[in-house]
Chain A
Amino acid sequence: MSATGTVPAVAGTAPPVTTPRRRRRGGGRGLAREIIVSLILLPICLLWIYPFLWMVGASLKSDSEIFGRVGILPETPVWENYARAWYEANIGPYFFNTLIVTVAVIAIVTVTTAMIGYVIGRYPFPGKKVLVGVLVASLFLPEGYTIIPVFDLVNSLGLSGSLWGIILAESGGAHVIQIMLFAGYFRQLPRELEEAARMDGAGFLRIFWQVMLPLAKPAIATAIIMTLMRVWNSFLIPLVLTLPRPELRTLAVGVYSFQGENFTDWSGMAAASTIALLPIVVVFLLLQRYFVEGVAGAVRA
């Protein structure tokens, strides 16, 4: 119950932002306050989720029904909108492109940032300060600053014809938050674990894979979610890298291009948007504590 000063940066070990503390005593006044605050917040919150509800509603409306009304529910659901988005706007293939890119980037980024975070968190080595400084600085690089050479590099490596260009470019971006998350997590594991493993004859690699990494599950979960949030929603890199190859587009680029190409099919666009946003929203609702903890961990780190 005691509030400690140090706050570990990772979900699972950190007290969640919602840690219930003792409910304030003094009944009546507190309840009145609670009701007033809730009544103020409720309409604001509805404003916050209205666009999503409207989008889902619009995806089931006929085109003539979409405009002129604030209401969300369609009179009779028009499911064809989804078929049109899936086949005509190619949302189907874009969906699988996004899935492949996301899974691959998550795998690459989780392993590489866990490795570098492990040594930054636990080992001294010459050049550490410089490395951390460069990493933190690269956090603030505008994406637009590096996109032209990235585009050029992907082309000269001959990767512009496959999803590999997008996967590598996304994996090579500054995933500093994940690195710091792992560094912070590994730093606080007791040194005795390592010493015991070394006594048993385990080398550096075995200690990492068989002792440290299994202990780092909460950090891994948080890192995966941070990467997921970033990659599923990424826009500039896939936009630029798929300019010559529309078949490689991801969902974000696909829906954006659908808008340009077919700009009167409003309900089709709403359906395409719903297909593209639904997976990330569902994942968020299931794992929201970790999403929030990831962001919270980032600001603590």
Chain B
Amino acid sequence: MMQTARLGRTGGQDAGSLRQRLWHARWSYLFMLPALVLGALFTFYPMVASWYISFLDWSGLDSDRRWVGLANYREALGDAAFWDAFGRTFAFTLVAVPVMLVLALLAALALNDQALRMRAVFRTMFFLPVVTTTAIVGVVMSLIMNPFDGPLNSALLTIGIVDAPIDFLGDPNLALWSVAGVFVWKWMGMSMIYWLVALQTVPEQLYEAARVDGASRWRTHRHITVPLITPFAIIIILVTFVGALQTFPLVQAMTQGGPAFSSELVEVYIYRLAFAADSTPRLGYASAVAVFFGLTVLVLTLAQAWGIRRAGAFKRDIGGAS
């Protein structure tokens, strides 16, 4: 109730001409300045400049920037390597994200049990890969997956699951999925924390009531947990999905997109064209790819905004938290 009273007063301050309001808020603008200047230089300007560069034929090595209009886009859209990277990125995401989210949910359900004494230890272990440097973890993982008796192959051979070492990162049919496996290992702890936060918004009383009624664990999850965490689930799924589309360090460190481009995701492709090309770098063309990809992610973000709004409406309907 105090909240409303305050809002009423702020509402009064809002009255007056725009100039008065701007003057009244001068300190606010001053306080935003440092963050906005940095953001303007290194986030907002690059967003716009990418468009401009995408219309250029430019190597980045000299000042020779030739305006070529939409030629880069036309070339990208007709380039099989680009579409391969694009499709691969979505294939990677559509496989890795559901596997990771399901594993993370199972872990979260197990660790949400208040009676479990070791849960802090388990949680720490699952979260450890999240805080470590992705590129370095990628390097270590490529040692572990080494086909010449790396520990992973040694283990598989010893148990007898395989009779010849598997070339996890050197086999074009396998490399992308080996990276996806490491991706799941690396980020599962993050999703697990997301799920734990969601699970803990469910009031304990509901579970107690269900227990009194003699509901089975499965029925409790089906009728209490699932509906109550659905709004969170929408957000978690979309955030994870959009994040996975941008996997760069792991792939770069483990396979550099190889062998034979079989694990080249869009961001790796952009990097190769712009900075690691065998021939002259092509910043203009790479920018066109980046802009096209950025737009795709933007569309998915808008879908997410829509999802969150739906989730908000859902939350109000059930009179839930906040």
Contacts and interface: CB of A to CB of B under 8 A. Distances in A.
A281 B132 CA distance: 7
Nearest to B132: A277
Interface in A122-145: 123-126, 131, 134, 137-138, 140-145
Given A5-B320, A118-B31, A269-B139, A168 B128 contact: no
Contact of B298 (A140, A152, A277, A285): A140
Interface in A1-50: 3, 5-7, 17-24, 30, 33-34, 37-38, 40-41, 44-46, 48-49
Interface residues of B, number: 117
A138 B39 contact: yes
Given A6-B321, A172-B41, A144 B270 contact: yes
Given A5-B320, A153-B45, A252-B133, A281 B25 contact: no
Nearest to A22: B114
Contacts of B141: 51
Interface string B129-143: 111111111111111
A251 B128 contact: no
A60 interface: no
B46 interface: yes
A236 interface: yes
Interface stretch (B68-76, B94-102, B118-126, B168-176): B118-126
Q: Which of B10, B60, B139 has the most CB of A within 10 A?
A: B139
Q: Is the interface of B mostly helix, strand, loop or mixed?
A: helix
Interface stretch (A74-82, A215-223, A292-300): A292-300
Contact of B53 (A6, A21, A24, A149): A149
Given A17-B196, A124-B25, A125-B28, A45 B122 contact: yes
Contacts of A285: 124
B225 to A, nearest CB: 15
Contacts, number: 322
B287 interface: yes
B297 A140 contact: yes
B47 A152 contact: no
A286 B121 CA distance: 13
Contact of B47 (A18, A19, A141, A171): A141
Contact of A112 (B22, B38, B144): B38
Contacts of A120: 32
B154 A235 contact: no
Contact of A115 (B32, B43, B154, B204): B32
A270 B242 CA distance: 32
Contacts of A137: 298, 301
23 contacts: A17-B200, A34-B116, A44-B107, A45-B122, A69-B149, A112-B34, A140-B297, A141-B47, A142-B267, A143-B246, A144-B248, A144-B266, A145-B297, A147-B46, A229-B131, A233-B133, A235-B248, A255-B136, A259-B142, A288-B124, A292-B193, A299-B232, A299-B239
Interface of B: 6, 10, 13-14, 18, 21-22, 25, 27-29, 31-32, 34-36, 38-39, 41-47, 49-50, 53, 60, 107, 110-111, 113-144, 146, 148-151, 154-155, 158, 185, 189-190, 193-194, 196-198, 200-201, 203-205, 232, 235-236, 239, 242, 245-246, 248-249, 252-253, 266-267, 270-271, 274-275, 283, 286-287, 290-291, 293-294, 297-298, 300-301, 304, 320-322
The 4 closest A-B pairs by CB, nearest first: A172-B42, A125-B25, A146-B46, A145-B294
